[in-house]
Amino acid sequence: MKFLAVCQSGLGSSFMVQMNIQSILKDENVKEDIQVDHSDVGSVGADSADYFFVESTLQSALGSIPESKVILLKSLINKQEVRDHVNRILDQEEIEHE
Amino acid sequence: MLLDLVNSNTVQVVAGSDMNWKQAIRLAAEPLINNKTIENEYVNEMLKVVESEGPYINIGPNIALAHSRPAGNVHKIGLSILKTDTSINLVSDKHPINLWFVLAATDNNSHLSVIQELMEILTDESAVKAMLRAADKTEILNIIAHKLELQK
């Protein structure tokens, strides 16, 4: 399983989202090996990850990726928003968490 | 690490009532040009990317993190902060901003600790609220120092 945080430059906001996801996976005590990384929109394709996290105004830049794999975030610093999305995915994928 | 970058030279508080978002980002980035962290060209890039891709640097309520990919115009890792007392619309009135961060990175990963510490601060709602209320740069620096001190 791989989560990829994506932003325009691939080094600012996406990096923040990556860290947020990682700290949430730790909080949720997820044992399964989930890879989390960050990237710029230009270098991602549908195969780059299982789920893509992106700031909602960049949605169109990920047009080639199936909608079900794209998580749109309204705020990148609202940990609860990211947590809700991560937990929903974990449930959907039947991955154990707290 | 963050505290090595953020100091009385790189933090500014202004009224901002007569500014647009481009002027705000230019002013926010000025200290990084002055201390030779970035070239003016990097500032142009940051503005250009918002013009073409939209206000995605609005990372949370009233907060913008301006940044771009370095292309020889970033000499070292840098972070500067501008607080405008008046909120300024980033592209549209759906994106009012008071806290303008400018991030300069030299590659994809070396600024990890800066981003980590910045996240510690920005995910803390009370710290963000306090920064939005701050009357001067000393207050902002104190909030950041206090928050990072608690983490240790």
Query: What is the residue-wise DSSP string for chain B?
Result: -HHHH-STTTEEEE--TT--HHHHHHHHHHHHHHTTSB-HHHHHHHHHHHHHH-STTEEETEEEEE----SS-B-S-EEEEEEEEEEEESSSTT-EEEEEEEEE-SSSSTTHHHHHHHHHHHT-HHHHHHHHH-SSHHHHHHHHHHHHHHH-
CA dihedral B60, B61, B63, B65 (to 10 degrees): 20
CA distance A16 to chain B (A): 6
Once rounded to an integer, what is the mean pLDDT over residues B136-149? 95
CA-nearest residue to A39 within chain B is B108
B102 touches chain A (CB under 8 A): no
Domain boundaries of chain B, sorted by first residue:
2-151
Region A2-92: CATH code: 3.40.50.2300
CB within 8 Å of B63: residues ≥ 6 apart: A77, B97, B98, B99, B101, B122, B128
Confidence of residue B108 (pLDDT cuts 50, 70, 90): confident
Token pair 């949430």 in the structure block, residue = A24
Which residues in chain A have Cβ-Cβ distances shorter than 8 Å to B65? 12-13, 16
Q: Is the pLDDT of residue B112 over 90?
A: no
B112: chain A residues, CB-CB within 8 Å: 15
For the stretch A39-63, pLDDT in tens is: 999 899 999 999 999 999 888 889 8
Query: Which residues share a beta bridge with B62?
Result: B97
**Could you report the per-residue pLDDT of B62-107, keeping only the tens digit for each?**
999 999 988 899 999 999 999 999 999 999 999 999 999 999 999 8
The structure tokens listed for B104 are: 């300069």
Query: Topology of B2-151 in CATH?
Result: Mannitol-specific EII; Chain A (3.40.930)
Q: Distance between CA atoms of A22 and B125, rounded to whole angstroms?
A: 20
Q: Which of A32, A33, A42 is nearest to A7 (CA)?
A: A42
Q: Kindly state whether B145 is in contact with chain A, defined as any CB-CB distance less than 8 angstroms.
A: no
Residue B82 main-chain phi, psi, to 5 deg: -125, 130
Pairing of strands B11-14, B62-66: unpaired
Report how far residue B13's alpha carbon sits from residue B139's, in angstroms, rounded to the nearest whole number.
10
The pLDDT assigned to B152 comes to: 63
When pLDDT is cut at 50, 70 and 90, the band that residue A23 belongs to is very high
Identify the sign of the CA torsion B129, B133, B137, B142.
negative
Alpha-carbon distance of B79 to B28, in angstroms, equals 10
**Which residue in A has a C-alpha nearest to residue B125's C-alpha?**
A78
Contact B108 A58 (CB under 8 A): no
B57 contacts A76? CB cut-off 8 A:
no
Q: Do B69 and A12 touch (CB under 8 A)?
A: no
Q: B138 CB contacts (<8 Å, ≥6 apart)? A: B8
- Of residues B79 and B150, more confidence is placed in B79
Q: Return d(Cα A81, Cα A74) in angstroms, integer.
A: 8
